[in-house]
Amino acid sequence: MEYEYKTNTLTYDFNDGDFTDTNNNLKVIVTDNVGNSSTFEALFYRK
């Protein structure tokens, strides 16, 4: 997963993973240098 700070976007190449289900859970946890963290969770579908 790559983060582009100029556009504030995350990008992931699905060719890197093995997805057998059509619906998937995504959980991203970000922690800064002082220990603050934020969590994002989403359900996405892939055919």
Do the beta carbons of residue 11 and residue 22 sit within 8 Å?
Answer: no
Q: What is the tens place of the pLDDT at every residue in 2-43? A: 989 899 998 988 776 666 668 888 899 999 999 999 999 999
Mapped onto helix, strand or coil, the DSSP state of residue 33 is coil
Do the beta carbons of residue 26 and residue 41 sit within 8 Å?
Answer: yes
> Residue 16: what pLDDT?
63
> Residue 27: what pLDDT?
93
Do the beta carbons of residue 30 and residue 8 sit within 8 Å?
Answer: no
> Residue 40: what pLDDT?
94
Does 44 have pLDDT greater than 80? yes
